[in-house]
Structure 1
Amino acid sequence: METIEQLIQKKAYELGYEKCGIIPLSMIDGYKEKLDERIKKVPESEQFYKGQQRLANPLADYPWAKSVVVMAVPYGKYKVPEQVKGHIAKAYLFDIRLDENAEEYKHNREIEKYMSELGLKVATNQKFGVVGMRWAALQAGLGIVRRNNFFYTKSGSWVHLEAWLTDREMELKETNDLPQCPKSCGKCIAACPTKSLSDSYTMSPTACVSFLTTFGGRDLPNQPLSKTFGSCIYGCDICQDVCPMNKGKWQENEDFPGLEELALSLTPEEIMDMDEEFYRNKIQPKFFYVSPDDLWKWKVNVLNFMRNNYKDSYRPYIIQACQNENGKIVEMATSIKKDLKI
Structure 2
Amino acid sequence: MNRERYSQLIKSKAYDLGFMYCGISKAGFLEEEAPRLEQWLKDNRNGKMGYMENHFDKRLNPTLLVDDAKSVVSLLLNYFPEEQQSDDSFKVSKYAYGADYHNVIKDKLKELYQFIQTEIGEVGGRMFVDSAPVMDKAWAKKSGLGWIGKNSNLIHPKEGSFFFIAELILDLELQEDGPIKDYCGRCTRCIDACPTEAIVEPYVVDGSKCISYLTIELKDALIPGAFHDKMDNWIFGCDVCQDVCPWNRFAKAHQEPAFMPNGQLLGMRKTDWKELTEEVFRELFRNSAVKRTKYSGLIRNIRTIQE
TM-score (norm 2): 0.82
1:1-342 equivalent positions in 2, closer than 5 A: 3-26=5-28, 28-39=30-41, 42-45=43-46, 48=49, 49-51=52-54, 53=56, 54-76=58-80, 78-82=82-86, 87-94=91-98, 97-100=101-104, 107-117=108-118, 118-119=120-121, 120-129=123-132, 131-153=134-156, 154-173=158-177, 176=180, 180-183=183-186, 185-216=187-218, 218-251=220-253, 259-263=261-265, 267-280=269-282, 282-283=284-285, 285-287=287-289, 290=292, 294-305=294-305, 307=306, 336=307
Give the counterpart letter for 1:169 in structure 2. E
TM-aligned CA distance change 1:228 to 1:22, over 3 Å: same
Secondary structure of 1:160's counterpart equals strand
Unaligned runs of 5+ in 2: none
Give the counterpart letter for 1:113 in structure 2. Q
Instruction: Give distance in 1, aligned partners of 2:61 and 2:179.
Output: 26
Instruction: Give distance in 2, aligned partners of 1:167 and 1:112.
Output: 12
Higher relative contact order (CA 8 A, sep 6+): 2
Secondary structure of 2:128's counterpart equals coil
How much does 1:271 deviate? 4.1
TM-aligned CA distance change 1:94 to 1:84, over 3 Å: farther
Instruction: Give distance in 1, aligned partners of 2:177 and 2:281.
Output: 43
The superposition leaves residues 63-84 of structure 1 with CA deviations (integer Å, 9 ceiling, x where unpaired) of 3433211111222253224389
Q: State the number of aligned residues.
A: 299
Which of the two has higher C-alpha Rg?
A: 1
Unaligned runs of 5+ in 1: 308-335, 337-342
Give the counterpart letter for 2:160 in structure 1. G
Instruction: Give distance in 2, aligned partners of 1:5 and 1:280.
Output: 42
TM-score (norm 1): 0.75
Cα RMSD (Å): 3.2
Contact 1:5 1:170 in 2 (8 A): yes
How much does 1:267 deviate? 4.4
Contact 1:21 1:70 in 2 (8 A): yes
TM-aligned CA distance change 1:21 to 1:252, over 3 Å: closer
How much does 1:264 deviate? 5.7
Secondary structure of 1:233's counterpart equals strand
Secondary structure of 2:92's counterpart equals coil
Contact 1:23 1:68 in 2 (8 A): yes
Contact 1:213 1:234 in 2 (8 A): yes
Give the counterpart letter for 2:136 in structure 1. M
